[in-house]
Amino acid sequence: MPFADSGGTAVYYERHGSGPAILFVHGSGGHHAAWWQQVAALRDRFTVITVDLRGFGRSDSSMPEFDGQDFPGDVVAVLDREDLTDAMLVGQSIGSVAALRAGLTRPERVSRVVLGHSLGGISHPELRELAAADRAEAVKLPVIDRLLTREFQHRRADLTFLFQQMGTFNVARMQDLRNLDTDGPTLEDIAASGVQVAFLAGEQDAVLSTKTVTRAHELLPGSHLEIVEGAPHSMYWETPDRYNAAIARLRTTLTAPKEAV
């Protein structure tokens, strides 16, 4: 079983398929197995890597507390152990913050970062205000309604139950991840890195509005924006065909700016 050493912490990951590399970074309720619909669909064309951040899945969870600032290092440890270059990191929700920081730490290994349903912790006053307003509305809903549409919950009670069960394999919790947002990268930091950023949003995302994501795209020169029709916050789970098509398209078409250093 493959483990990477992240400053003395054993980080579990899996590698499937072959071709250009895509590394998925889960959100607060996920782990490596949450990407089952992506691995099966993408491994014939791409190298698909899934990882468990510390405190999640099969990674080391023995520490008494977790600091979100350590999570990007877990992603970097996998990038280094696999000696990847030209990788595309794909984050889901709060996992996008870890993905972006990891990409900025290893721009020689990462050419693209896809911020799924997230602003990636970008430090910008207007974006912070917009995201806070979105969260204020989201917390009015039951947690499951923030993540999956009610129509899906009724139609696929089986997959909704499995989705909820995924989080029971984790020791770390949402509050352990939130510290990732502290001292986030600026728009200038991202531009200087040469890493290409794409915002991937769901039209029905109840956590982060398409208006907010669109504004982030407008503020980040050279970024890409893709809004998927009818998709919720957990697009990868509820609408995997549309999500997988978007990921494959981004892996194929996105390139880092030539003039960036």
Q: pLDDT digit string (tens) for 122-174?
A: 999 999 999 999 999 999 999 999 999 999 999 999 999 999 999 899 988 76
Q: Does some domain include residue 260?
A: no
Specify if 216 maps to a domain: yes
258 part of a folded domain: no
Query: What's the pLDDT score for residue 182?
Result: 74
CA distance readout (Å), 46 to 23, 63, 247: 10, 34, 11
| Single-letter amino acid, residue 111 | S
* Residue-number span of the structural domain to which 63 is assigned: 3-253
With respect to residue 261, please indicate whether it lies within any of the assigned structural domains. no
For residue 143, the model assigns a pLDDT of 95
Q: Which neighbouring-strand residues pair with 11?
A: 4
Task: Please give the pLDDT value at position 261.
Answer: 34
Tell me 27's DSSP state: -
Burial class (CB in 10 A: 0-12, 13-18, 19+), 25: buried
Q: Report d(CA 71, CA 54) in Å as an integer.
A: 7
**For 67, what's the count of Cα atoms within 13 Å in the CB-facing half-sphere?**
5
What parts of the chain have a pLDDT lower than 70?
Answer: 1, 174-180, 255-261
Domain for residue 133, yes or no? yes
Partnered with residue 199 across adjacent β-strands are: 115, 225
For residue 127, which amino acid is it? Answer: L
| Number of structural domains found in the chain | 1
Instruction: Say if 50 falls within a structural domain.
Output: yes
Please indicate, yes or no, if residue 259 is contained in any of the structural domains: no
pLDDT at 175: 67
Domain-located, residue 210: yes
The CATH number linked to 249 is: 3.40.50.1820
